Every structure is written in C-alpha cells, then in structure tokens.
Amino acid sequence: MINQKTKMLTLMGVFVALSAVGALIKVPSPTGTVAFDSAPGFVAALLLGPGPGAFAAAFGHLFSSLFAGFPMTLPIHTVIALEMAAFAAIYGYMGKKNLTMGVIAVSLLNGIIAPATFIPMPQFGIAFFTAMLFPLLVASAANVIVSALIYKAIVGISRSKTYNS
C-alpha cells in the first residue's frame, strides 16, 4: 500500500516535470520566458491543493527562465517565481469555489498585475510593462484555461467512474 506522503510527493514531481516540459513551449515575448509552464501548476493547485500547485508553478517559471538564460537575472526571476506561486495558490482556493472566477482573476493577476509590479524599477519601467502586456496576458489566460479544461475533464472522469462502479 502506498503511503499518502509518497503519493503526494510523486504527484508533485509529475507536475513539476510537466511544468518543465511546458516551459519549452514558448509564447513569443520580449524576454523569451513566457511559456506553457504554469498550466501544470494550476492543475496541481486544483487537484492537490494550493501549496503543491504553488510549488509546481514556481518551478515552472524557473525552468522557463533557465531555458531562456535568465534574461532578467536570477533574483528578478525568483521574484516572478514567487508571484507565480502566489497566483497558483490563489487559483487553488478560488477555483475550487468558482472555477470561472478563478480563471478570470488569475489571468488578470498574472497578465496585468505581475508585469505592473516592475514599473517602478528603472531598468524596466512602463516600456517593459507595455511590451510584456499582450504576450503575458494571452499566455496567462491560455495557461489558466487549459488548466481549467484539464481539471474539468479529470473531475468528470472521476465522477463517471464513481457512478458507474
């Protein structure tokens, strides 16, 4: 019999690995770090809980940044990874209560608020925000929508097995 901790660690490893794969599927952007790296973290947040989802989403961004050569420096990408962790945790809480609202909120948080946090920094400013807004908003929405669809499919399969057993 598999221990629950072992099962959780194994599933977290799978979602982190899927985030690494997603980090290779890039969306064109000025930094080269926008990718499908967060969808697995968002799925994990719904299925395993906000903590495991946050962990997978943070590592997803770090993989995406690593594969692009940390173009904004490791400390900046660490801040972004922490933002991604927070957004995945928020999604895990919100999405369980209202999936549609979770999708909208996290798309806006990641697509608009995240790049806006860099406006006060002189090396980024409004030019960075403007350049990143469209690709990040599109990719954010795509990642969250993909995660919602996967979650709905898994929950649907799970329910049909329960009813048909």
The model's pLDDT over 1-13, given as tens digits with 9 standing for 90+, comes to 678 899 999 999 9
What six digits make up the tokens of 66? 């690593």
pLDDT at 103 over 90: yes
Choose among 107, 110, 108, 104: nearest CA to 84.
110
Looking at residue 164, its pLDDT comes to: 56
- Which positions ≥6 away from 8 have C-beta within 8 Å? 48, 52
pLDDT at 161 over 70: no
Say if residues 47 and 151 touch (Cβ distance below 8 Å): yes
What six digits make up the tokens of 101? 């609202």
Mean pLDDT over each residue of the chain, to the nearest integer: 94
Q: What is the mean pLDDT of residues 44-62?
A: 97
pLDDT at 53 over 70: yes
**Structure confidence at residue 155 as a pLDDT band (50, 70, 90):** confident
Looking at residue 82, its pLDDT comes to: 98
Looking at residue 165, its pLDDT comes to: 52
pLDDT at 43 over 80: yes
Chain-centre distance for alpha carbon 23: 10
Q: Which domains does the chain have, with CATH numbers?
A: 4-164 (1.10.1760.20)
Chain-centre distance for alpha carbon 128: 21
Q: pTM for the whole thing?
A: 0.92
Tally of CB atoms within 10 A around 83: 19
